[in-house]
Structure 1
């Protein structure tokens, strides 16, 4: 079997995915030591390799590479040759111990629901270990000089931690990492799917700007020295070259409190889900919650407290423009920065765009919404669609006349009219464009579990020399076969749905919809579906890092009988020996009350 490795380049640094192969256990020299961890409340071991130049040049400081082991591993790298790599690269290598307790074979407190057993989180221990290494050894402490390599479950953690702390890590290597795991605390853990989280690495919502390439190694899942060497040399050769912090970024976090790029977020979030900050610049941001990535609904009852970076004039007064997407309402208020130049903003979990501006500050155009020729956001499949934009000027002055250009790296999607001319937008104005982009989505629905969304990049320029970048996803309503063997669980199973159990979708009921015996994941836009939750399955149990998702939806109590709801849907079946995901797509409609 061929397992590829990939690397990505971005304005935040570089992310490299390596799929490595065979196992080796040659003896080697190292320094095994430990430190007291306040996070774990006890001693944690680690292995450290110092280059010969560390002792020969006592005034020199060194980059640091951290290595994260896989399942049943620990901090003891299982092969020789590492000291020579470290000497040649003149870097420090630290291999941590990812066991929550010493007797655990399974590391990092991640996996399926039954694997989340500890309140202690490795995202906290990573910060503690970095602080310990930086305070105990002569290290270069900026993010440009800190990289990660992880194998298998450690590969998942390598991307997870690099995405959680982009301000601390410049380069991340994922060797055969799991595609998705649940992560968090026992009482509140959330599905983290790597394919939807690249937004965290580069400060943009989509990944197309990452420079992607790959090679292939043939072999099984284990790690051997030669392929570790390749990963190590890539990181060591790239370290220290990271671009400066981004002027615009996005971040999604599954924890109720987090810090990123000097922004601090606190919340009362107690259920699984994410907090997102999108399109963050000095001129504002969008804040919201999502029950899941990338398109989950907002989480009701959530309060967010956001403290910005200290980028504003201390004690100065700013005008805050606030656009509530759910209420479709604009409002203005004033707020005063604190003595450090931070602004404190409180909001709920529904999506809100904030503009932070002064009188006559520069215009800033952001995307508030779009449609694809109908009232919903679905793209027609294999037929031309007219995409219109709803733009908001959250800045403090009027823009010049605008040129908007749409692009995508999604294969088989064509844009016959990629640029449109738009009038100027005044400060605080919210407006739909009259002109539209002509887009045709010809791609087939993914049969392997990859993202079905089309990723669009939008560049907007005005005649005054301003430029803004935006991104958005659109889902084609795929022209696929109709699911004809539909079954509705409205409580008859006594497991999933809830209702009168007559297998008919009726107002007020919570239902799960089947195709044959397969629970389906649903995609829809209908005002009479008032909530959706996801059910996850392991199929088969042996494959513990790939989850089949299905939808539980609730029909509104005021839904009129006879109302027709149309769905795009899919279901997933996995193969154990080939580690393959088989996804089948279909469409269907149900009539409420019939």
Structure 2
């Protein structure tokens, strides 16, 4: 790396330097502005904590970019509550990075950070550790997480929570000014919806704060997030100011950081992490995968004794991507060159395996698995039991409802190497919103790699309608005085009346609301289009309100919905309405082919109505009846040839798939074609049995581009023939 100091200026005793350095991550020169405190050049031995600041839309590292909301660097800007004035009065360094997302030969562009949409290959979160390393090596910083914080405004506020949550091992605090709560982010070829409202588990070991104004156009989405985060993050705070979209309370936010530096949260003994990238590092763990599709890798309850791991298409309950292969390399926690016994329980498929692996010369373990839900236990011979929660089930209602007794059954797993003797557990609340009604239960003895269901049900009641999620604690004990603390969350819904005015889109064309105040005519669902729910159909529930049809997000627990782990969620982008990057979600549940005649299904439905700049969340219960038989052909979800001439075709259907065949047609000579039959048996090139991803290694062909036509037949003989979009290279 190398740097260039372009100019320096002294403002109220703070020294402001605009400079740049070469980035190996981006392969280009990157700019930054640094604010140095008074006395920085007087004592060459003194070191300082650092606050990183990320600017917003239309801004650059050098200042406001012509937008008044963004003036907060120096002098009288932001009514004097600005960076230079704070640095002048405190012993701290502030670094402003540059989120510019264009090259020098491209037209000037005001949208920073390459999010919402992802337009280039620049990945700013991947660049940030390089920037930190550069600053630590060229300025006198206290180069540890305990004395480092990150903050930002607007789009920079969004990036603050993303980068801070991605690197909790680099920061002790994160502070967001008026940031959006959602954008499309990640790899250019497979971006994913990143929603802060779902990412609350990423901030263990950090202090987190949100400042926003009571007239900020993003405030409705801040309110949505606060209803969740305030219930599940112990170290989260927010403050609402008499302000618009701005760095409101900048001095208070930076003061929050300085207090954190005085007494930083310690590294958590047990932690969770969610990441959009196929490969990443966190807390010394290295995670690698072959994922080349939108999704998120989820680590839970990570400590030296094991962890839970999965890959999902979206949060919180997106489809499991079991076809992804993962490897997780631990830090050097373990004895060098010794054997460890790995218990691996696949929660989704109820499969148990045990294998022995050796630590390497530095005491690291490398553990491999697929993208299903895996509970991993790391053991030495004759280790103690290791008890964890495998599943929580609500037994007396379709979803947890406020002001009612919620009865739950808990399944425990022993992933240790000794029998858990006379296991018992006690349920408690982590907030004062819930009353625990039945708190204690027993499980008996739990052998190694065995499950046990609670002998008695547990129950609780949420006392307020305003609560949307409840975090509970289960304390587990055995006769040998071992104790385990497990935490889990349950989404909670209000007790609402039934919605009667709705339509079922099952392959029907409707004119529906779009982007808040617009509309579109679109084909929704998949079926015979008669407006009646039939087995095998995919449906969208449309609620009529304000003389428009609104697509709904649905919550349910019926066993005849989404068979084989299918879960389809779509997005209606509201950016044209409120300019926040957020989308309203709607569900496309799949009806199982074996759904009984006249079976009644109950949904909790949610949709948004516009009230600029806010959105009104409407909710209610919808009931439908399922009749008829499965006459709906399979749906082709994706076709992919990632390399090595292996094709993967993902198929959805309400029943098991009987066969999948692909016909390849040479583009330059359509008369030349060949056909292959794909399998989903977990053998040869097929990665996982029964994951609805059918695979086949294609016989060696002449180099060329091919069209691919897919034929899929379900167990009822319903057939679909569909040409995959695009062209595919074979060699």
| Gap runs ≥5 in structure 1 | 1-24, 447-451
Q: How far is 1:408 from its partner? A: 3.1
- Secondary structure of 2:524's counterpart equals coil
Aligned to 1:360: 382
Q: Which range is displaced more, 474-483 or 229-238?
A: 474-483
1:380-439 CA distance string (max 9 Å, x none): 554323322111122223445555232335664321233445545444332112133221
Contact 1:89 1:236 in 2 (8 A): no
1:495 aligns with 2:481: no
1:511 aligns with 2:539: yes
Alignment partner for residue 282 of structure 2, among 260, 270, 293?
260
Residues of 1 paired with 2:575 and 2:191: CA distance?
21
Aligned to 1:471: 487
Residues of 1 paired with 2:493 and 2:240: CA distance?
34
Quick one: structure 1 residues 518 and 141, their matched pair in 2 at CA, closer, same or farther if it must change by over 3 Å?
A: same
Aligned to 1:296: 318
Residues of 1 paired with 2:317 and 2:351: CA distance?
22
Aligned to 1:235: 257
- Secondary structure of 1:53's counterpart equals coil
Q: How far is 1:248 from its partner? A: 0.8
1:316 aligns with 2:350: no
Q: Which range is displaced more, 317-326 or 376-385?
A: 376-385
Q: How far is 1:469 from its partner? A: 2.1
Quick one: structure 1 residues 328 and 518, their matched pair in 2 at CA, closer, same or farther if it must change by over 3 Å?
A: same
Q: How far is 1:99 from its partner? A: 1.5
Q: Which range is displaced more, 142-151 or 25-34?
A: 25-34
1:167 aligns with 2:169: yes
Q: How far is 1:148 from its partner? A: 0.8
The number of aligned residues is 558
Contact 2:172 2:205 in 1 (8 A): no
Residues of 1 paired with 2:624 and 2:489: CA distance?
24
Q: Which range is displaced more, 394-403 or 426-435?
A: 394-403
Quick one: structure 1 residues 567 and 330, their matched pair in 2 at CA, closer, same or farther if it must change by over 3 Å?
A: same
Q: Flag the structure with more relative contact order, 1 or 2, with Cα contacts below 8 A and sequence separation at least 6.
A: 1
1:547 aligns with 2:549: no
Quick one: structure 1 residues 470 and 444, their matched pair in 2 at CA, closer, same or farther if it must change by over 3 Å?
A: same
Q: How far is 1:532 from its partner? A: 2.1
Q: How far is 1:97 from its partner? A: 0.8
Aligned to 1:583: 618
Alignment partner for residue 525 of structure 1, among 532, 539, 557?
557
Quick one: structure 1 residues 165 and 525, their matched pair in 2 at CA, closer, same or farther if it must change by over 3 Å?
A: same
Aligned to 2:74: 80
Aligned to 1:198: 200
Residues of 2 paired with 1:28 and 1:108: CA distance?
28
Structure with bigger gyration radius: 2
Contact 1:385 1:439 in 2 (8 A): yes
| Gap runs ≥5 in structure 2 | 1-10, 64-70, 76-82, 207-227, 510-521, 630-731
1:23-46 CA distance string (max 9 Å, x none): xx9998511111112333322111
Quick one: structure 1 residues 330 and 303, their matched pair in 2 at CA, closer, same or farther if it must change by over 3 Å?
A: same
Residues of 2 paired with 1:325 and 1:152: CA distance?
40
Quick one: structure 1 residues 370 and 344, their matched pair in 2 at CA, closer, same or farther if it must change by over 3 Å?
A: same
Residues of 1 paired with 2:330 and 2:355: CA distance?
17
- Secondary structure of 1:397's counterpart equals coil
Residues of 2 paired with 1:540 and 1:134: CA distance?
38
Residues of 1 paired with 2:575 and 2:180: CA distance?
15
1:460-509 CA distance string (max 9 Å, x none): 24454433222222234643221222312222226332222222232332
Contact 1:566 1:590 in 2 (8 A): no
1:387 aligns with 2:403: no
**What pairs up with 1:335-346 in 2 under 5 angstroms?**
335-346=357-368
1:106 aligns with 2:115: no
Residues of 2 paired with 1:418 and 1:556: CA distance?
36
Aligned to 1:128: 130
Quick one: structure 1 residues 142 and 360, their matched pair in 2 at CA, closer, same or farther if it must change by over 3 Å?
A: same
1:564 aligns with 2:600: yes
- Secondary structure of 2:232's counterpart equals coil
Residues of 1 paired with 2:258 and 2:322: CA distance?
45
1:38 aligns with 2:24: yes
**What pairs up with 1:429-448 in 2 under 5 angstroms?**
429-444=450-465
1:142-175 CA distance string (max 9 Å, x none): 1111101111111111111110011111111011
Alignment partner for residue 54 of structure 2, among 49, 68, 72?
68
**What pairs up with 1:138-153 in 2 under 5 angstroms?**
138-153=140-155
Residues of 2 paired with 1:583 and 1:341: CA distance?
54
Residues of 2 paired with 1:387 and 1:553: CA distance?
25
Quick one: structure 1 residues 466 and 539, their matched pair in 2 at CA, closer, same or farther if it must change by over 3 Å?
A: same
Residues of 2 paired with 1:333 and 1:282: CA distance?
17
Contact 1:506 1:561 in 2 (8 A): no
Aligned to 1:91: 92
Contact 2:60 2:100 in 1 (8 A): yes
- Secondary structure of 1:553's counterpart equals coil
Aligned to 1:53: 39
Aligned to 1:593: 628
Aligned to 2:437: 416
Quick one: structure 1 residues 544 and 465, their matched pair in 2 at CA, closer, same or farther if it must change by over 3 Å?
A: farther
Contact 1:540 1:576 in 2 (8 A): no
Quick one: structure 1 residues 580 and 566, their matched pair in 2 at CA, closer, same or farther if it must change by over 3 Å?
A: closer
- Secondary structure of 2:132's counterpart equals helix
Residues of 1 paired with 2:238 and 2:539: CA distance?
43
Q: How far is 1:64 from its partner? A: 1.3
Q: How far is 1:250 from its partner? A: 0.6
1:221 aligns with 2:245: yes
Residues of 1 paired with 2:459 and 2:579: CA distance?
42
Pairwise CA RMSD: 2.7
Alignment partner for residue 425 of structure 2, among 375, 388, 404?
404
Quick one: structure 1 residues 457 and 587, their matched pair in 2 at CA, closer, same or farther if it must change by over 3 Å?
A: farther
Contact 2:15 2:37 in 1 (8 A): no
Quick one: structure 1 residues 411 and 231, their matched pair in 2 at CA, closer, same or farther if it must change by over 3 Å?
A: same
Residues of 1 paired with 2:50 and 2:481: CA distance?
41
Contact 1:378 1:474 in 2 (8 A): no
**What pairs up with 1:447-486 in 2 under 5 angstroms?**
452-462=468-478, 464-476=480-492, 478-486=494-502
1:317-368 CA distance string (max 9 Å, x none): 1111121112223232222222222222221222111111112223321100
